[in-house]
Amino acid sequence: MLEPEITAEAYAELRKQDKAPLLLDVREPWEAHTASLPEAKFMPMGEVPSRAHQELEPDEPIVVLCHHGVRSLSVTMWLRNQGFDHVQSLAGGIDRWSRFIDPTVPRY
């Protein structure tokens, strides 16, 4: 099984591929309006249990995103317990992404 977390640098390389993982943004709406990545599927953490099995594919790779990586790791572990084996949390969240990968993404 994959490591539970993926670095921003490793995800930056993966997203260049034709079959990039789904980026699942589990932050609150105000956070997504403040700073986001255009390819992200937005699903606030509180909605994941009711939406995951209808909207996500258990066999597809998924990278979960939040602000600093705490909520995304929690969602990653929950999804793995639900049979989503190819899920990883973006370590450091969108904050790390903004600092090290794309400084045009606002920090908050």
What residues are annotated to the active site?
Answer: 66
Say which residues have a Cβ less than 8 Å from residue 47's Cβ, sequence separation at least 6: none
**Calpha distance 57→3 (Å, rounded):** 19
Collapsed DSSP state (helix, strand, coil) of residue 25: strand
Collapsed DSSP state (helix, strand, coil) of residue 46: helix
